Structure 1
Amino acid sequence: MPQQSPVRSTPQRPPRPDASMSLLTNVMDHSLDEGYAEAAARKQADGSGGMPKTLRAKLGLAGGLVLAALVVTVGAAQARVAAPVVAKEREELIDRIDRETEAADKLKDGVDALRDDVGARQREALRHSGEGDRTELVGVLAGAVAVHGPGVKLVVNDAKDTSVGGDGDARSTSGFSDTGRVRDRDMQRVVNGLWESGAEAVSINGQRLTALSAIRAAGDAILVDNRPLVPPYTVLAVGDGRQLSSRFQNSADGLYLQALEESYDIRTELSVEDALRLPAAPSVIVRTAQPMTETTSATEKGTS
């Protein structure tokens, strides 16, 4: 009887400790999807695995810097080329402004000379007709002729620490502002107060005021007959100096100006002067009123 070889029993591997957690084990062992793994393997086999992201980022940054440097260089070159042209145009514009300003000044001097000549001829003609004194008085009251005499000098200025370009309200409901700037309404009240106190002629910064004058504002600037003025504002008023000063300071407008000085640091200085000279108004144009004549009076009586 043949002898049988002994049967060797295959030793059994001990079970894994995590055998009961097969799902988690599969996820950990196969964290990358098989499709992604195959695609990566094909790219690596074809030699198209691509460059690392860090290298691509560095190359992109370098390209951006080169492009920016190119733009700056081109802009600087263009500015360097255009600079002489711009400077030349600026100089030509300045020269033109200077020439036009000089021409305007000459025309103004000519107009003033002609106005003085016309006024002298009118006074001479009226003197021969016996109406000279009356015409002189009308010219003084209308602001058409220059005047001189005693009066008061009032200087009104912004507060010391006032910033240029304040955008607060011109005046609040109480009539004041916290900007410390002199406004057109303030100058209107000053001028009206001087007229009411007995002033016979008034000027602001050399600008003669008439019955047709307007004090307005354009931004932070004060305009008198559309001509801008800058502080300090010097107001000259011809009249009985002491009486005019006393009446103005005790008037409502004088007390208003004093309140501006005390509450908002607006600076004022009032002095009595023995001799003031006020220029004539640049032009006194009446568009509607007509002088009364005997013929006009007779016509009106007939129609009535």
Structure 2
Amino acid sequence: MSLLTNVMDHSLDDGYAEAAARKKADGDDGLPKTLRAKLGLAVGLVLAALVVTVGAAQARVSAPVVAKEREELIDRIDAETDAADALEDQVDELRADVDARRQEALRDSGGDSSHLVGLLAGSVPVHGPGVRLVVNDAKDAGTGADGDPRGASGFSDTGRVRDRDMQRVINGLWESGAEAISINGQRLTALSAIRAAGDAILVDNKPLVPPYTVLAVGDGPALSDRFQNSADGLYLHALQENYGIRTALSTAEDLRLPAAPRVIVRTAQPITGKGTS
């Protein structure tokens, strides 16, 4: 009976009692480690929420300033665009005035072919029947690493239209009887140059973007037949068959071509007098 009484009176071992007393003396709260971890996580979440709240408040305060700066930038862009458009209109008006004065001066001096000279030189806008030729890269042309068909470097034989391809097309149209030609709205003259700069095709130092729309004024049906049967027309057909370059040729009753931006002659000089030396 004394053994049972001892067990009932001392349910915990003396060692456990000593350990509990020691922890209490050391200031240990006796919480399980998992509970302390949860409390630490809760404190961290509270701090994170506080940081996010402060950041949102600061963003809300600075948002009107950013919006105002954005509106001011948009207003400046619009103003500069309007100014550029106004200057372009002024240039067009001055160019038209110069052309009118030149034609008047030629008429006063006995020149009766000023309009034809301006037409052949590309200095005046023209309209008339002709052909419309659209040349475009192949659908799977030279895809770059980012999936951009224009992303591949260089003009390799991968279905991309090259500068020398456009040179042959334009020369073939001139040879077939075209009287005036433009590419993507840019008038070609005897001084125009078609070349490459990196991955772009340039016409008079202005980059072109595919598809390339070529307008050629002339006798539409005859011009179309002569071009398709010419060496350059067959060359374009071979590009379509071998590399998948897309082309579309059609005739039109009335094509309108703008004047060349500028026709500057730096070297050639007119011959004065009837004789030559």
Q: Which amino acid aligns with 1:234?
A: T
Instruction: Say whether the 8 Å CA contact 1:123–1:132 is kept in structure 2.
Output: no
Match of 2:222 in 1: 243
Q: What SS does the aligned partner of 1:155 have?
A: strand
Indicate the percent of aligned positions where both proteins have the same amino acid. Answer: 72
- Could you list the per-position Cα deviations for residues 68-116 of structure 1 after superposition, in whole angstroms to 9, with x for gaps in the alignment? 3233223322222222222222222222222222222222222212211
Structure 1 contact 151–241 (Cα < 8 Å) conserved: yes
Q: 1:250 to 1:62 in 2, by over 3 A?
A: farther
Choose which of 133, 145, 157 in structure 2 pairs with 1:154.
133
Counterpart CA distance in 2 for 1:96 and 1:220 is 32
Among residues 119, 123, 137, which one is paired with 1:140 in the alignment? 119
In structure 2, what residue type is equivalent to 1:68?
A
Could you tell me which of 63, 71, 82 is aligned with 1:91? 71
With 199-208 and 261-270 compared, the bigger mean Cα shift is at 261-270
Q: What's 1:254 paired with?
A: 233
Aligned residues: 252
User: Equivalents in 2 of 1:94, 1:214: separation in Å?
Assistant: 37
1:171 to 138, 145, 155: 155
Task: Give me the whole-angstrom Cα distance separating, in 2, the residues matched to 1:66 and 1:165.
Answer: 47
For 1:184 and 1:74, the matched residues in 2 are separated by: 58
Quote the offset at 1:46 in angstroms: 6.7
Q: Distance in 2 between matches of 1:105 and 1:157?
A: 30
CA distance in 1, matches of 2:80, 2:197: 24
Deviation at 1:281, TM superposition (A): 0.6
8 Å CA contact 1:154, 1:270 repeated in 2: yes
SS of 2:89's equivalent in the other structure is helix
Q: Match for residue 28 of structure 1?
A: none
- Tell me the CA shift for residue 154 of structure 1: 1.2
Match of residue 6 from structure 1: none
Q: In the TM superposition, what is the alpha-carbon distance from 1:118 to its structure 2 partner?
A: 1.6
Residues 62-211 of structure 1 correspond to what in structure 2 (within 5 A)? 62-133=42-113, 135-157=114-136, 165-166=148-149, 167-172=151-156, 175-177=157-159, 182=161, 184=163, 186-211=165-190
1:228 is displaced (CA, Å) by 5.1
Q: Take 1:217 and 1:74, find their aligned partners in 2: how far apart are those partners?
A: 55
Distance 1:275 1:61, change over 3 A: same
Residues 1:104 and 1:209: Cα distance change in structure 2 (over 3 Å): same
Tell me if the contact between 1:176 and 1:260 (Cα under 8 Å) persists in the aligned partners. Answer: no
What's the offset of the Cα at 1:202?
A: 0.7
Q: Unaligned 5+ residue runs, structure 1? A: 1-39
Per the alignment, do residues 84 and 224 of structure 1 end up closer, same or farther by CA in structure 2, a change over 3 Å counting? Answer: farther
Q: Match of 2:148, SS?
A: coil
SS at 1:89 equivalent: helix
Task: Find the aligned partners of 1:65 and 1:187 in 2 and give their Cα distance.
Answer: 65
Judged with a 3 Å threshold, the aligned counterparts in structure 2 of structure 1 residues 292 and 126 are, in CA distance, closer, same or farther, namely: closer
Q: Distance in 1 between matches of 2:162 and 2:52?
A: 48
* Distance of 2:196 and 2:52 partners within structure 1: 45
Alignment of 1:251-290 (within 5 A): 251-262=230-241, 266-286=245-265, 288-290=266-268
CA apart distance, 1:270: 1.1
Distance, in Å, in 2 between the alignment partners of 1:256 and 1:170 is 21
Quick check: 2:200–2:207 contact (8 Å CA) kept in 1? Answer: yes
Gaps of 5+ in 2: 1-18
Partners of 1:48 and 1:260 in 2: CA distance: 89
User: Which residue in 2 is equivalent to 1:291?
Assistant: 269
Give the superposition deviation at 1:252. 4.1
Q: Deviations over 1:32-51 (max 9, x none)?
A: xxxxxxxx9xx969727798
- C-alpha deviation, 1:157, in angstroms: 4.1
SS in structure 2 of the partner of residue 93 of structure 1: helix
TM-score using structure 2 length: 0.71
